[in-house]
Structure 1
Amino acid sequence: MTQNAIPSPNGLPSKPSPLAPLTQLIERRGTPAAVPHRIAHIVSVSGSQAVAVLERPIGDVNSERDPRIQIGALVKITTPSTSVVGLISAVSSPTPTMDAGSPEIGLIELNLAGELVVDPETNRLAFRRGVACLPSLGDPVLFADRHDLTRVYAQPSVASIKVGSLYQDPAVPARLLIDDLLAKHFIVVGTTGCGKSSALTCILQRVLAEHHYAHIVVLDVHNEYPSAFGDEAELIDPSNLNLPIWLLNFQELTEALTSSDAYRDAEAEILSDAVVIAKRRFLDASSVRSTSLARRSSESSSVTVDTPTPYRLSDVVAYIDEQLGKLERTQSTVPYRRLKARIETLVSDQRYSFMFGSLTVQDTMTETLGRLFRVPSDGRPITVINLSTVPAEILDVVISVISRIAFDLAVWSKGGLPMLLVCEEAHRYAPAGASDKFAPTRQALSRIAKEGRKYGLSLALVTQRPSELDPTVLSQCSTAIAMRLSTEKDQAVMRANTHDGALDLLDFLPLLSDREAIAFGQGVSMPMRIRFDDLGSSAKPRNQSAGFSAHWKSPNMDREQLEAIVSRWRLSGRERS
């Protein structure tokens, strides 16, 4: 009998086994050849789907030789030239019987995803997406062993990070392809308490462990990450944040300073003229000792309302006063007075001191950008911006400014400064719908989502309600980490944005336990069900849950502590709902 031949029922040699090339390759590498045990054979192929009939009784399970057949498990189908890899998407018995002793026919439905082929450069088996040689009727179906899982999910030739382990085999690491993950945006979704923050922290920690010169900015709206990254993080909050008013473009400035009633357009027109005049006055004053009169005149005339040039709010108020003095009695002064009052209120409010409270105006744009985006990193490649105490009425403006200047910096650096912008609770400030309230923020994030990858700027979105996130932003995320989702509406949105044969895996979303996820898209070799690594107590994001059972067993606050809280409350001027 020839080597690698399959014996026929009558004892005569049959045709060479389709596993022969793979078996010979293993033997050349010095490992005893072991042909995997077949569990089924193909009876139907349609496009990227196939159906196979089980060749063993249903329920006959040997954990070592025949692992349990379940949805999401990886199998391979041997063909004359390759091994086709697929995922089990459904298990059924078309003719169930009531007799416990009678065998039942079992069917498994498969989603085909790729192939195991011999890499001509390394002469080793490697995984390749897409199927060039489709399986046919009668082709054997085998369980993927640990070596196959490693070849598919942990490819050594591609830059990747380990974030957990496979659900199918906990001994096999779950790895994310870092370049595809970051270059094409990714999203982490899941209901409250399922471990989204821990999953994001795990991903970022693994990235930082191997990339000490990264540039990552985390918009932390719940103050969860101050201790998650240790000494590698630059911690910023409203007390040390410097985001001067002149960094705002006109749309953001209008959102912050004008009303939302019938006087909005009139106030916006006045504000536009006032800002241009204030910028010209500052430019003229700062250039007296350093430039000629002709050059000052040229710079001043080229200034627009969106030019990132410093100016004084006192000059804006002075212009408004000047115009008020020129108005006729018949003209309305309401827009002028309201705009002036709004500016004066913001300047005197301690909550807005990071934007309006500077007593002196200087051109600190380089210093501001350097600190926000870690240029140079100085051993702290990640910036965590605590936005939990930023007033809600201006939160979207702050996020809009940071997002927009990140994109502008990426454009002007011509892609020479790859950056990652992480947006927690993204549905809050980039909501679905046509509301004008969050228009600047939604536009800034949408622009990054659509064009950021061309300039090395990536988005990482975290949300518990993907159905409430702007569809344009969501559709641009090429990788999704989907954790437990309970509502049908959110599940439907994720299905609508699913590809790579992961649609059937999303049926598991309501059943996932904490720290489990379905990962699919460009950032993974194949859709996979994973469990994230445990970070340990010192590296976890802060848990803000109340812990009622522990807190209510003993006194947890006295009158003195309450008075201290009220004092801080009044000092900040913020009424928390």
Structure 2
Amino acid sequence: MQLAVNAGNFVADVVNDRRSSEQPPDRVIGRVIGCDGSRATILSTVSIGNWLASDAWSIGKLVSINLGRTRIVALVYKVHAVQTAWNDEAENAIRIEVEFLGEVVERPHAPTRFQSGISEYPPIGAIAHRIRAADLAMVYDLGGRKGVVIGQITQDASIDAMVDVEGMLSRHFAVLGTTGVGKSSAVSLLLRKAVSVRPRLRVLILDPHNEYASAFPDLALTIDGDALDLPVWMFKQDELADVVFRGRAALDDEPDILREAVTQARARYRAPVAGDLARDLGSSLLKRPLDGGGPRAASADTGTANQGQDSTTPFRLKDVFAAIDEMIGLHEQRWPRHALRSLRVRLEALHADPRYRFMFGRAAMHESMAPILGQIFRVPLHGRPITAFQLGGLPGEVVNAVASVLSRLAFDIAVASQGAMEVLVLCEEAHRYVPSDPKLGFAPTRQAIARIAKEGRKYGCYLGVVTQRPGELDPTILSQCSTIFAMRLANEKDQQIIRSAISDASASTIAFLAAIGNREAIAFGEGVATTMRMRFSALQPHELPAMGSRKAVEDGPRFEPTLDDLVRRIRA
């Protein structure tokens, strides 16, 4: 059935594409009365009980403007009545503001397709109508790219929301949204889809809230403060200094003394003196690192040229103490004795602190990177490609340094594998590690994450950014994320960040960010066909992330702890 509509000299055929028998046969619902470079104004009429009034002109929905063989697809972003008074007995004129997204093109002997941008602007009087179901599906179709289903389109739940995992990962992605909108559940869903189609992918989650362990019971290895082994010698000089001195006033000479003492300890490990040979026979010689290679220059420089040298040669803490004691005993003092003694006391306190067992306890027995990298980056996989790294149980003053080490190792292992292994670093609460103010945060962590963002895709190292405050995130990092899932954001500054990242053709979509529902998102970028408002699929209860404390409350405590139990756990 066709309906020929004559608007002056403009004639168009409108093919009816009713979605159900209950819909009216006429899909013509308005006419264009104004147009500029990217937007148009449509005039329509509605009345009480008019079925079209509550459907076609809803904010955020797509409509068509018919030009014959071309149909412009436009987004409704504003609706208002022409008159200030409403007449219940007659039709009321309304103005609809729409933004052009692209066009559906029909060509003889060629498949109908959707393309972004428009080749022809609508004339005054052009017909606007409800978008066809087939056209709507075509708008969100990935074309020749292979995609996975992550949810449904908000406008029509019968149309799947698809994402191209290759495009999403290779150019990094971000999930943004305020607390309680389903951000962590969306991340869990995306990770499950990613590992299902990328068998070589390893995922390292920097989890500050300890909430992802419950989300991947079948796919993840959980590493907390008790299970973590990260020897002190794997920390670069600036990372170690952050652990030793952060939050504590350091004497002027202490950082330099630490650098020299560690350098001497590394040198002793590589070439033990005669006294060490006699004392450590059967110990030091038998514990040479399998991956250490030949002799290396012991450099304390943290510049680009020596980034890896000060973390590839192991050292023993007792050799650090010995180097400090030798400095104290020198007749001609290079460093003040009170500074030397102060540093020794600091190191002794850290060594004795049970919270730092992951650095100085059994971790100190590792003198090879192999078991550390094998555990963290799942080599071999053993069916668990995800590592949920629970940072919540670590001392607050070492979290940044640990995040720096892990991010740096992720990049290094991707480079060393020469593309055989792909690594995704998912950074939860990313604004903590790469804040917008360069004076805040920890510089080595910022550098490690920025290196993945800028260079990682060449080597198969990808970045996933998750934050509830994109306005506090380094804009350079966010600009490297080519696929963004923006969930509800009420803060104007946060919305402005998204507005600057989205294409002009979809800028009005950002107006919905303050009002979209839970699990809903505005998705745009390389991983999707076009900007879309979609709702993430619901996960099964056993796949939902949950903070450890919340899960304990939901499951119910097995016993009521005593005051002594609480004190002991706090001190542990």
Name the TM-score class by shorter chain: 0.7 to 0.9
> CA offsets per residue over residues 514-549 of structure 1, 9 Å max, x none?
222222233222222222222121111125676999
One of 370, 374, 388 as aligned partner of 1:370: 374
Taking the TM superposition and a 5 Å limit, the aligned residue runs for 1:176-575 are: 176-258=163-245, 263=250, 266-285=253-272, 299-301=295-297, 306=307, 307=309, 308-326=312-330, 328=332, 332-358=336-362, 361-542=365-546, 560-570=561-571, 572=572
| Aligned partners of 1:310 and 1:361 also within 8 Å | no
Q: Is 1:77 the counterpart of 2:65 in the alignment?
A: yes
Shift of 1:488: 3.1
**561 and 481 in structure 1: CA distance in 2 versus 1, 3 angstrom threshold:** farther
RMSD: 3.7
Shift of 1:336: 1.8
Taking the TM superposition and a 5 Å limit, the aligned residue runs for 1:69-108 are: 69-108=57-96
Find the aligned partners of 2:285 and 2:433 in 1 and give their Cα distance.
42
| Aligned partners of 1:45 and 1:51 also within 8 Å | yes
| Aligned partners of 2:62 and 2:74 also within 8 Å | yes
**278 and 131 in structure 1: CA distance in 2 versus 1, 3 angstrom threshold:** farther
| Aligned partners of 2:73 and 2:100 also within 8 Å | yes
Shift of 1:365: 1.6
| Aligned partners of 1:96 and 1:104 also within 8 Å | no
Shift of 1:40: 2.3
Shift of 1:156: 5.3
| Aligned partners of 1:167 and 1:531 also within 8 Å | yes
Find the aligned partners of 1:548 and 1:225 in 2 and give their Cα distance.
14
| Aligned partners of 1:61 and 1:68 also within 8 Å | no
Find the aligned partners of 1:288 and 1:559 in 2 and give their Cα distance.
51
One of 12, 23, 29 as aligned partner of 1:39: 29
Amino acid at match of 2:378: R
| Aligned partners of 2:229 and 2:363 also within 8 Å | no
| Aligned partners of 1:154 and 1:173 also within 8 Å | no
> CA offsets per residue over residues 130-153 of structure 1, 9 Å max, x none?
333343333322322322222222
Q: State the TM-score, normalizing by the size of structure 2.
A: 0.84
Q: Percent identity?
A: 37
Shift of 1:233: 1.0
Amino acid at match of 1:564: D
The size of the alignment, in residue pairs, is 545
Aligned to 2:151: 164
Q: Is 1:49 the counterpart of 2:50 in the alignment?
A: no
Find the aligned partners of 2:557 and 2:386 in 1 and give their Cα distance.
35
**103 and 119 in structure 1: CA distance in 2 versus 1, 3 angstrom threshold:** closer
One of 129, 137, 154 as aligned partner of 2:124: 137
Q: Which runs of 5+ in 2 are unaligned?
A: 18-23, 273-282, 302-306
Amino acid at match of 1:213: R
Q: Which runs of 5+ in 1 are unaligned?
A: 27-33, 573-577
Find the aligned partners of 1:423 and 1:496 in 2 and give their Cα distance.
22
**119 and 533 in structure 1: CA distance in 2 versus 1, 3 angstrom threshold:** farther
Amino acid at match of 1:311: F
Find the aligned partners of 2:547 and 2:351 in 1 and give their Cα distance.
34
**548 and 136 in structure 1: CA distance in 2 versus 1, 3 angstrom threshold:** farther
Find the aligned partners of 1:319 and 1:549 in 2 and give their Cα distance.
50
| Aligned partners of 2:169 and 2:463 also within 8 Å | yes
Find the aligned partners of 2:462 and 2:324 in 1 and give their Cα distance.
41
**331 and 526 in structure 1: CA distance in 2 versus 1, 3 angstrom threshold:** closer
> CA offsets per residue over residues 11-32 of structure 1, 9 Å max, x none?
xxx9874669xx9xx9xxxxxx
Amino acid at match of 1:62: W
Aligned to 1:6: 4
